[in-house]
Structures are given as C-alpha cells and as structure tokens.
Amino acid sequence: MRSKSLAYLGVALVGLSLMAGCVRKNAPTAKAPTGTDAATSAVAFLDKKFAVLPFTIPATDADLLAGYLPAARVVPEVAPVHLDAALEQDLAGSKQSFVPAGMAASCAKSAPRGDESGRLATLRYYQNVGKCAGVDYVVVPLVIDWRERVGSEIGSTNPASVDFVLYLIDVRTGGLIKQFHFDETQQSLSANILDARKFVSRNGRWLSAMELAQEGLQKGLAELGL
C-alpha cells in the first residue's frame, strides 16, 4: 500500500499550494453559556496560574460544554492515561504557571457541581475545581472517541481516528473562554489531495491513534495560548 501512496507523491507536490485541510467531523455547534471572548495569547496569560485536569471520558451530553456525543463511539480505558502523559510532556516547555497535577486531580475529585442542572452544573463544577486549586484558569481535556489503526504504518485497512476537546475556563467569571475541538480520521493522499502537506510531513505513514492525538494536542495548546 506504501508503493501505491508514494505513486501519488508527484501529484501531491503540485497540490501543495492548495489549502491544507484535514478530514474531520463538524465541530460542536451547540453553545454553552460562555464568558467574554477574551484574548488567549501567551502574553494575555502572564502572571496567571493554571490547573490542567486529567483527561476524562464524557458519559453524557451534559459532560460537554458544547455539542453532543456521537451515537457510536469507542474509548479504551487506557487512552486517557496515554493522553495525560502526552499532555504533561507538551506542557513541560510552557512558559505558563501550572499547579501540580496531583493538586488538580485531587480538586477534580472533591469539587462540588453546584445547584444548577445539566451543562450549567458542569461549568460550575469546573469553576469550583479552579477555586479549590487556587488558579485563574482551568484546562479541561475530554476524549470523545478513539479508534486505533488497523494494520501498520505502511498499510492500514482502517486508519486511526481521534476525537477530543480542550476547554479553557475562567475561574473568576465561571465562563468558557475558548474551546479546541480535534476530530480527525487519517486519509490517504488519493482520498484527499488537500491533505498533501500532511501526507508529505508524515512521510506517507499511517499514524497510530496516539501519534494522531499528539499532533492535535500540540495544535490545541498553541491555540489556547499555552
């Protein structure tokens, strides 16, 4: 299958001037109540403190702050563990200030949800986690779907597929400042010529779910200003 993919490389180089895209489902459209649309650049967060919660698997739509869970989804129990390790590694070089992961996890276990119902209760819960940790912002990571590649990096019958979201919560206002939604299934070059740049950067390889997720995490943290 690798030889077939490389045969399209010449076509890919011609298409490099096209906009690079990735095949993904539509990002959530339903909006939860949010705070003011504040800037999320690294400069905007100087002298601020963050708590990064462990990855969790949402059980119901109310666990999300926007959108809805897909009808069919699969998330192995080990996926959040691997994602936490990757997230910790990516944040190691950040210039932002973070409370210890143990403190964030402890507050996540003890914080109350509040008196509201549904997504308002979920939002209030994250605000309470931030108050418990004594931070300005809370980063909430949720893994929604996780499908491992079937095959190898040189040939795959079912490519990897990853769906996760990162929320950034303002503890003072209790508002959702920003969210990053990553939902991608790797495609072959022949299936999507607009992915030519990704195809070349990945050396024509079929990524594992973890490799795909790592790409998404790096992009998401950059968009959130972390």
Over residues 160-180, the mean pLDDT reads 95
Classify residue 64 by burial, with Cβ atoms within 10 Å: 0-12, 13-18, 19+: buried
Q: Percentage of the chain with pLDDT > 90? A: 57
Q: Tens of pLDDT along 179-197?
A: 999 999 877 655 555 565 6
Distance (Å, rounded) from C-alpha 184 to C-alpha 28?
A: 14
Structure tokens at 117: 């119902």
Confidence (pLDDT) at 20: 38
Classify residue 194 by burial, with Cβ atoms within 10 Å: 0-12, 13-18, 19+: middle
Instruction: Provide the residue count of the chain.
Output: 226
Domains of the chain: 32-187+203-224 (3.40.50)
pTM above 0.95, yes or no: no
Helix ranges restricted to H, the chain: 2-7, 9-14, 79-91, 101-110, 118-133, 196-201, 209-224
